[in-house]
Amino acid sequence: MAGQEQKSSQSREDVEDVEPGAAPAPAAPQASEATQGVDDLLDEIDGVLESNAEEFVRGFVQKGGQ
């Protein structure tokens, strides 16, 4: 079936997307890039975190479920 073929080629494409660390790079620059990447990420997260962490965490109370 055409639909199925399409689906399987789709999932093959997806795999390439999730190929981690596909481009090999020299060790030292990669390490500093990674550090820079985490710093950028933390800066981004700083901007969206709920303002009062203590109050938020205390107020997040759930009833048990399944």
Partner 1 sequence: MSTSEHGPDGLPAGGALRVMGSETEYGIHAPSTPGANATYLSSQVIAAYARLTRERLHASPGAGWDYTDETPLRDARGWSVRRSQAHPDLLTDLEPVLTAEGVALAHGPAEIELDGDQEPALMNLVLGNGARLYVDHAHPEYSSPEVTNPRDAVVWDSAGDAVVLAAVRALASDPEHGPINLYKNNTDGKGASYGSHENYLVPRSVPFSDLVRGLIPFFVSRQLVCGAGRVGIGQDGRTPGFQVSQRADFFEAEVGLETTMRRPIINTRDEPHAVADKYRRLHVIVGDANCSHVANYLKFGTTALVLSLIEAGAAPAIEIHEPVAAMHRLSHDTDLRETVRLLDGRRLTGLELQWIYFEAAAKLAADAGVAAEHGGDGHTATVLRLWERALTALGSDLDAAAGYIEWAAKQMVLEGYRARDGLAWSDPRLGLIDIQWSDVRPERGLANRLMASGRLSRMADDVEIARAAIEPPEDTRAWFRGKSIQRFPANVASASWDSVVFSPPGSYRLQRVPTREPLRGTRALTGGLFESHPDIQGFLDALLGERHT
**Residues that bind partner 1 in the complex, under the rule CB under 8 A:** 3-5, 7-8, 10-12, 14-15, 17-18, 20-21, 34, 37-39, 41-42, 44-45, 48-50, 53-54, 56-66
Structure tokens at 61: 């109370």
Q: To the nearest whole angstrom, how small is the minimum distance from the Cβ of residue 28 to partner 1?
A: 15
- Shortest Cβ distance from residue 11 to partner 1 (Å)? 5
Residue 45: both structure tokens together: 């997260």
- Cα gap 26→63, rounded to integer Å: 50
Closer to partner 1 by CB, 28 or 60: give it.
60
Nearest to 30 by CA among 17, 38, 41: 38
